[in-house]
Amino acid sequence: MGQNEAHHLQVIYQRLTRDIDRLTTQLADLAQSARSMKQQLNSEGHLDLGTFSDQLETFASIEANNRQIDTLNARHDTAVTRLKHAKLLLPQAYFAKLSLDFGDDDLEELYLGKVGYTDENTRDLVYDWRSPVADAYYANRTGATTYRANGRDIPVTIKQRQQFVIDHDHLLQVVDTDAAIGDPLLLEVLASNRSGGLQEITATIQQEQNAIIRESRHPIVIVDGVAGSGKTSVLLQRVAYQLYRHRDSWTPADILILTPNTAFSRYIRGVLPALGEAEPLSTTYLNLIQSWGQRFGLTISTTADNHLAELADRLQQPYTQTPAGLSQRAYDQSNDRVPLVNRMQTAWRWLNAVNLAPEDLTDWLDWDQFGRDLGITPLTTYDQLYLLLNFTAYQQTVTQALFVDEAQDYGPDAWLFIATLFQKTAITIVGDHRQRLSGQATTISDFFDPDQTAQLRLTTSYRATGQITRFFAQFAGDWQDEISAVQEEGIAPEIGSTSALSRVLAKQSLSATQSLGIITPTAEIAAELATQYPAAQFLKEQAFHTVRPGLNIMPLALAKGLEFDFAVVTHWQSAFYTDPQHGHNRRYVAASRGTKGLTLLN
């Protein structure tokens, strides 16, 4: 381990500790200055507007005070941000170093961390992992390469890439690498104990993951990734990257993450703050629909029994009959050959132009009669919201970037709605088409402009042993020959009898931090097993759970997205898992939950 690197860490660590002390004091002083200024302004609170000269003097004094307040606020905000970054870097100042030659034979050494940090002369001490030059590190090679900055390619030669394991001011490990990030450090991170929540992966981002995180040529990014490929981690790292890339115009309030349930929102909480960013808003699809329904005066309790696909088709066809409740004059602003959606948009613009637009949009049309005339009944409030968005050509401006996880579970209606509401929004979609457990699969790309869409894949599974990965890959259909593993071989999956569950559990020796998941076909079977093992955690629908050490029991539907050190799948040969339409998907999901051991019970 190089003495130079150990010394460099000491220098940076001492700088951070000094800055933390100094900035803490500075913020206290600024707070006192603000209080003093407030008292002074209160004492000078009267406005002298007697003569024109008095007015000029008063306004000049107000302007001077405003400039003073602005300066104080700017100094405060700068100090707060710098203090936050210093505290964030203190446990691990950086995780890697790049030695670069930009063609002048003068070697430059760049240290990469979770956030950037400079000295008082704005000299970079630590480069943000999201900076353009850091892309050269994640490219996973040495030698001549390029990275893109400010719209142009910068040629550079990578002389050396190093990774570090750091604990505050202690340099624990240095790895010189000219291959994939990690191989030793990646495996070490993967082998570390799971906390129950998702962790950031900045130091071990792989090349195929980096390509997704930094994709900026297309506003729509659709990612299909195998089980254990780090899809959710990549999605959150991309959120952080987008906030960095648009840091002059976006804030976390401009970001929306759609999650499958509220438990999942809890699972990912903390990742972005660990990267120096505030938590963006996250919500479920149903909550999103209900929120937008309220804005249009609609109460939506469910998305079931909707007709969005039929309506989308009818909107593009001519409709000669005036919609029930709409004035004939408004509808006659365009001719009969124009598609329904365009005629309604023209009618809506005309109504607004002549001040005849309804105050309550729900009263605009006779929805029951309109549905009967269309031959689509009944029109649900979800249907009405979709129609209103189209008829008014509504464009939301609140969300700049939308991120959707577990995309395979969304039906055609959801993609129609998302594509309509978020037409001007950057959208990142991640999922695994093999993890849909029921219903008809959807080709997500069909709902977006192909010229605006990047479709990317993640085919490396980082989670499970080689034996387990190859086992679940056989159920992956078109994924089968592409899935690869990075973990050690491990032991082959074992097959036994469901009646032997007690013996299987008895011989399974778990450490205090290891978890075992029993995965059943249905919630009823899981509930029955939970009565036999009262010490186990029973995962129920609509309840918040994270994986905990020891025994966890749940139906397959709730096991998606979770991982265990050891997994036991019951009823492996039942009709549930041999179903001709969904059986392979269910086996693929169930068999990919264990990372070290897998037992299948017949």
Q: List the helix and strand counts (H, then E) for the chain.
A: 20, 21
Is 227 annotated among the ligand-binding residues? Answer: yes
Residue 136's CB is within 10 A of a number of other CB atoms, namely 21
Query: Is residue 376 within 8 Å of 311, Cβ to Cβ?
Result: yes
Q: Closest by alpha carbon to 593, among 71, 228, 337?
A: 228
Q: Closest by alpha carbon to 518, among 532, 529, 507, 510?
A: 529
Residue 198's CB is within 10 A of a number of other CB atoms, namely 20
Q: Closest by alpha carbon to 550, among 512, 591, 500, 502?
A: 512
Residue-level pLDDT at 177: 72
Strand positions, DSSP E, 379-492: 401-404, 426-431, 453-458, 460-461, 484-485
Residue-level pLDDT at 139: 83
Contacts of 29 (CB under 8 A, 6+ apart): none
Contacts of 481 (CB under 8 A, 6+ apart): none
Residue 132's CB is within 10 A of a number of other CB atoms, namely 15
Is 589 annotated among the ligand-binding residues? Answer: no
Residue-level pLDDT at 51: 60
Residue-level pLDDT at 579: 96
Query: Is residue 224 within 8 Å of 459, Cβ to Cβ?
Result: no
Place of tokens 């804005």: 295
Is 43 annotated among the ligand-binding residues? Answer: no
Q: Closest by alpha carbon to 568, among 528, 526, 524?
A: 526
Query: What is the Cα–Cα distance from 448 to 526, expressed in whole angstroms?
Result: 40
Maximum Cα interatomic distance, the chain, rounded to a whole number of Å:
98
Residue-level pLDDT at 471: 98
Structure tokens at 244: 């960095």
CATH class, domain 484-601, is: alpha beta
Is 232 annotated among the ligand-binding residues? Answer: yes
Residue-level pLDDT at 200: 87
Asked if omega into 323 is within 30° of 0 (cis), the reply is no
Contacts of 564 (CB under 8 A, 6+ apart): 515, 516, 517, 547, 552, 593, 594, 595
Residue-level pLDDT at 506: 87
Q: CA separation (Å) from 508 to 172, 504, 517, 602?
A: 33, 6, 12, 18
Is 228 annotated among the ligand-binding residues? Answer: yes
Residue-level pLDDT at 56: 57
Structure tokens at 301: 């309790």
Residue 20's CB is within 10 A of a number of other CB atoms, namely 16
Is 192 annotated among the ligand-binding residues? Answer: no
Q: Closest by alpha carbon to 519, among 478, 577, 447, 473?
A: 577
Query: What is the Cα–Cα distance from 296 to 361, expressed in whole angstroms?
Result: 7
Q: Closest by alpha carbon to 62, among 72, 73, 47?
A: 47
Contacts of 376 (CB under 8 A, 6+ apart): 307, 310, 311, 314, 383
Q: CA separation (Å) from 282 to 15, 198, 258, 404?
A: 36, 15, 6, 10
Query: What is the Cα–Cα distance from 366 to 358, expressed in whole angstroms?
Result: 13
Is 231 annotated among the ligand-binding residues? Answer: yes
Q: Closest by alpha carbon to 296, among 394, 370, 423, 372?
A: 394
Angle between helical axes of 412-421 and 285-295 (0-180°, round to 10): 50
Low-confidence ranges of the chain (pLDDT < 50): none
Structure tokens at 420: 């309509």
